[in-house]
Amino acid sequence: CVLKDAILWNEHKVRIIFLFSLSKQKDPLFDHLFENLVSLIDNIQKVKKLCKAKTLDEFLLLYQINKLK
């Protein structure tokens, strides 16, 4: 979820929220997704681009493009 206005979360302003549903079994695909997300959100310029997404499709496209760089 990309929020229009940031909310305060543990003294930090937050605009992007990820919600995951996990099973008790280890899933290598989730590990891969998580590693990509961590590297993506560690770059403020990439996060700013994600925040500009207006639709889920646009967000996913930006995610796909940025995880390859």
Has residue 67 got a pLDDT over 70?
Answer: no
Residue found under tokens 């760089």? 69
4-55 per-position pLDDT tens digit: 899 999 999 999 898 888 888 888 888 888 888 888 888 888 888 888 888 8
Is a pLDDT exceeding 80 seen at residue 61?
yes
In the predicted structure, residue 65 carries a pLDDT above the cut 80: no
From residue 68, alpha-carbon distances to 7, 13, 40 in Å are 29, 27, 10
